[in-house]
């Protein structure tokens, strides 16, 4: 049920009676709420494919790799997640038959995750659904999407993303 007012506007109004930084507080609260909404919608779109967005990202990363396989450590770096999270993601994808794990042929300590044909097929189907839904940002125009990406780039750069 929709509220008759914007709760973030109200939180910002009340915040301003106690502290400074209202524009930053409003922006970060809005950003976090949109993130919740988008992830919820993406996960709902991916659920029929047996995926979450995190698992989908891992499969796409493997599709993009030249051999369809990457060491788990490299996957964690590229996905920017903790090694434990990568292990969990790959374990679930493996149990679904979407990836296989095998020893790295050159580094005995490393494990490779390799996408299967079934994994490639599910990526194609899931990507079609995500694109059709505008990646849950279908309320924005193409120009708005570009502007949003550019607006967030300095925040990512300052955080050391690149």
Could you tell me if 62 and 114 are in contact, meaning their C-beta atoms sit under 8 angstroms apart? yes
Q: Which of 64, 145, 73, 61 is closest to 104 using CA atoms?
A: 73
Residues present in the chain in total: 162
Could you tell me if 93 and 99 are in contact, meaning their C-beta atoms sit under 8 angstroms apart? yes
CA distances from 36 to 29, 42, 114 (A): 11, 10, 30
Query: Helices 53-64 & 117-132, crossing angle to 10 degrees?
Result: 120
What is the domain partition of the chain in residue ranges? 52-162
Q: Which of 33, 40, 41 is closest to 10 using CA atoms?
A: 33
For the stretch 11-68, pLDDT in tens is 999 999 999 999 999 999 999 999 999 999 999 999 999 999 999 999 999 999 999 9
Say how many Å lie between the first and final Cα of the chain, rounded: 40
For the stretch 96-129, pLDDT in tens is 999 999 998 888 788 999 999 999 999 999 999 9
For the stretch 46-58, pLDDT in tens is 999 999 999 999 9
pLDDT of 146 above 90? yes
Residues facing 129 on adjacent strands: none
Cα(138)–Cα(131) distance, rounded to whole angstroms? 9
Cα(46)–Cα(125) distance, rounded to whole angstroms? 10
pTM summary value: 0.90
CATH code for the domain defined by 52-162: 1.10.10.10
pLDDT at 117: 98
């Amino acid at each position: 049920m929709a509220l008759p007012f914007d709760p973030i506007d109200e939180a910002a109004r009340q915040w301003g009676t106690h502290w400074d930084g209202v524009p930053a507080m409003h922006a970060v609260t809005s950003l976090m709420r949109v993130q919740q909404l988008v992830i919820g919608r993406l996960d709902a779109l991916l659920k029929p494919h047996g995926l979450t967005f995190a698992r989908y990202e891992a499969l796409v990363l493997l599709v993009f790799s030249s051999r369809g396989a990457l060491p788990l450590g490299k996957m964690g770096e590229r996905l920017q997640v903790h090694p434990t999270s990568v292990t969990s993601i790959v374990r679930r994808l493996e149990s679904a038959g979407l990836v296989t794990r095998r020893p790295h042929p050159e580094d005995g300590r490393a494990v490779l995750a390799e996408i299967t044909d079934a994994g490639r097929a599910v990526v194609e189907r899931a990507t079609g659904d995500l694109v059709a839904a505008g990646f849950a940002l279908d309320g924005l125009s193409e120009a708005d999407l570009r502007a949003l990406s550019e607006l967030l780039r300095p925040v990512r750069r300052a955080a050391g993303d690149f």
